[in-house]
Amino acid sequence: MKQSPKIWPALAAPGATWLLALFGIPFYAVACVAFGTIDPIFRDAVPQWNPLAWDFGQAREVLASVLSGPLQGVFLRTIVYVLAAMITSFAIGFPVAYFLARHAGKRKLLLLTLVIVPFWVNYLMRMLAWVNLLSPSGLFSRFMGVFGIHYNWLDGSPITVVLGLVYGYVPFLILPMYATLERLDWRLVEAARDLGATSRQAFRLVTIPMAQAGMAAAAILIALPMFGDYYTNDLLSRSPRTEMLGNQIDFYVNNSQQPQRGAVLVLMLSALLLVALSWYLRSTSRYAKERTK
Amino acid sequence: MTRRRFRVLPTIIWGYVIWSLVPVIIAVAYSFNDGRSRTVWQGFSLRWWIGDPNASVLHDASMRNAIFNSLILAFTTVVIVIPIGISLAVGAHRLRGRSAKAVQGLTSVPLITPEIVVGAALLLTFTRLFTGIPLGFPAQLLGNVTFSISAVVVIVRARLVSIGSGFEEAARDLGATRFQALRYVLMPMLWPSVMASLVVVFATVIDDFVITSFLSSGVDSETVPLRIYSSVKGGATPALNALATLLVLTSFTVLICGLFGLSLWRKRHGDNGGLRAALADVTQADA
């Protein structure tokens, strides 16, 4: 068949142009602000549109602060919180997804629906719910008070922030995890059992390796937004003791006179995520190769 | 051994369901509180919904304004993003070679970019480069469209893959032009993905906080999530719970209408997957 392919680029053009103009260019603009100069009179950031004239002074300053200055704590805290929240999310989300995929039986549709519901409840509503419960007069605090535990959960508590992140993002882990487990070839697990593996061995040596790519995808899926999260932290703590990278970006870009610093931090966050992402892409392409063998 | 696991897992899943839903249900319940408190129950009333002449959701001008802003933003985003996204998905699906790769990259990067990066980048762009676009509704609209295009592309592309190229080729063999095959054969078959995109985009935009907040211009362009965010920590009344409940009800109404429409479409086209298949349409789209 003869190809007259003009129609396809024409169809793709509006969307591609839109993304280029409002996604590609803004990324460049961030770099131009980050590597630009500061107006000596108004102290405002002046973007430098010519990459040959970029000034890396501010970026170097921020990097120094990350490596051995006040920002070091923020960076480390961000990584620790996200990792802790991710591990907890797996501890909760994996069994839930596993049960849904394997043993839900007659209740499957009901359970699936119940698990999907939080996905569609507004994130801020879910945080509002916890702020109400955790406030000093809230139900949870009063309940804990019965056992003699009096603790202000909303005053810069790292536990609250990490659990808040878990509560917020675990639905986004369960669904892709469920999709992965649902599609697994469970006959292989049965075969392993028939060949004498204990259920634990079959799980460790057959199920987990088969689900690995899906697990990596789910981990990435929740880690990326967690790294940029600032509102969970703001609502549940708003204390410098639990401040994360997202809070710094929000502060510098939105509320301060130093958007340049904010722009540098945005670039750093992107670089951090790029590392996580390339790890993910490498592991999935390896998986795809093994699969086609 | 196996029997033990069977008892542990159901406990975890029911525990999870309770943990994930009960706090929200309590927050909804407190919107019916008779007192000013969001934490201490003082009896049932509709005071914060309709009763109070100033502070109830029905009468508070700023809350009504937020609801109005949210709805307008979600509607306009859907109207703009659906045609752009579908045409991009159909076009990109047929592209080959280098341009295909470029478009693929352009549509998948937004999916993995945290919202704060998009929000900050657009804010810096609208205040320093495209200064003709004022913050507030115009900027919020452009931002939400940008962030939603990729979701539509993913949903429509999944549908294109499952349709395959057979139907279009058959139409072409029977004498249809390329455009006719697209218009009369492919387009009608894309319906479920259009419906799914509509639901997903509407719900995402009406729930969106980060981009909408970065690009807002203050009280005038405040949406419901922004309003919740700014008043959670203050001494807000249960009217805030009522407002949040309203937001949740809106997304669920859209979701349920979409699911209903999808399963109806499937039934009419001889697919008896019903609600479950429709659910899969929407959730696969999210993942």
Q: How far is B53 from chain A (nearest CA, A)?
A: 24
State the pLDDT at residue B285.
Answer: 47
State the pLDDT at residue B165.
Answer: 83
Of B16, B112, B143, the CB nearest to A224: B112
Domain A59-292 has CATH 1.10.580.10: no
Domains and CATH numbers, chain B: 62-286 (1.10.3720.10)
Q: How confident is the model at residue B234 (pLDDT cuts 50, 70, 90)?
A: confident
CA atoms within 13 A on the CB side of B266: 21
Each residue's pLDDT tens digit, B157-171: 988 988 888 888 898
Q: How far is A253 from chain B (nearest CA, A)?
A: 7
User: What residues does B37 pair with on adjacent strands?
Assistant: none
Q: How far is B269 from chain A (nearest CA, A)?
A: 23
Beta strands in A176-227 (DSSP E): none
Q: Which residues of B touch A10 (CB under 8 A)?
A: 91
A150-164 burial by CB neighbour count: b if 16+ within 10 A, else e?
Answer: eeebbebbeebbbbb
Contact at CB, A253 and B248, closer than 8 angstroms: no
Spatial contact of B285 and B196, defined as CB atoms under 8 Å apart = yes
Contact at CB, A99 and B179, closer than 8 angstroms: no
Which of A 62-81 lie inside 8 A of B, CB atoms? Answer: none
Residue A2 confidence (pLDDT) above 80: no
State the pLDDT at residue A291.
Answer: 62
Contact at CB, A95 and B117, closer than 8 angstroms: no
Least-confidence region, from A116-120, A254-258, B190-194:
A254-258
Contact at CB, A124 and B276, closer than 8 angstroms: no
Q: How far is B94 from chain A (nearest CA, A)?
A: 6
For A117-129, what is the mean pLDDT? 93
For A287-291, what is the mean pLDDT? 68
Q: Which residues of A touch B113 (CB under 8 A)?
A: 224, 270, 273
Cα A190 → chain centroid: 35
Cα B49 → chain centroid: 25
Q: Which residues of B touch A137 (CB under 8 A)?
A: 37, 39-40
Of A5, A22, A92, the CB nearest to B146: A22
- Cβ neighbours of residue B59 closer than 8 Å, sequence gap 6 or more: B50, B52, B53
Q: How far is B185 from chain A (nearest CA, A)?
A: 16
Q: Which of A261, A291, A84, A110 is nearest to A183 (CA)?
A: A291
Q: How far is A130 from chain B (nearest CA, A)?
A: 7
Using left for φ > 0, alpha for ψ between -120 and 50, and beta otherwise, residue B274 falls in left
> Whole-model pTM?
0.90
Of A18, A33, A234, the CB nearest to B149: A18
Residue A170 confidence (pLDDT) above 90: yes
The C-alpha atoms of residue A203 and residue B2 are separated, in whole angstroms, by 12
Q: How far is A290 from chain B (nearest CA, A)?
A: 23
pLDDT greater at residue B12 or residue A1: B12
For B108, nearest residue in chain A (alpha carbons): A19
pLDDT greater at residue B72 or residue B267: B72
Q: Which helix (H) or strand (E) holds A139?
A: helix A139-146
Which of A 216-235 lie inside 8 A of B, CB atoms? Answer: 220-221, 224-225, 227-231, 234-235
The residue behind tokens 């697919």 is B271
Pick among A1, A3, A23 to test the B interface (most B CBs inside 10 A)? A23
Residue B181 confidence (pLDDT) above 80: yes
- Cβ neighbours of residue B109 closer than 8 Å, sequence gap 6 or more: A23
- Cβ neighbours of residue A82 closer than 8 Å, sequence gap 6 or more: A165, A223, A226, A227
Q: How confident is the model at residue B275 (pLDDT cuts 50, 70, 90)?
A: low
* Domains of chain A by residue range: 1-55, 59-292
Q: How confident is the model at residue B1 (pLDDT cuts 50, 70, 90)?
A: very low
Residue B3 confidence (pLDDT) above 60: no
Pick among A4, A22, A114, A163 to test the B interface (most B CBs inside 10 A)? A22
CA atoms within 13 A on the CB side of A198: 4
- Cβ neighbours of residue B96 closer than 8 Å, sequence gap 6 or more: none
The C-alpha atoms of residue A137 and residue A116 are separated, in whole angstroms, by 30
Contact at CB, A125 and B122, closer than 8 angstroms: no
Cα A288 → chain centroid: 24
Of B117, B128, B241, the CB nearest to A270: B117
State the pLDDT at residue A251.
Answer: 92
Residue A217 identity? A
Q: Which of B37, B246, B73, B36 is nearest to B148 (CA)?
A: B73
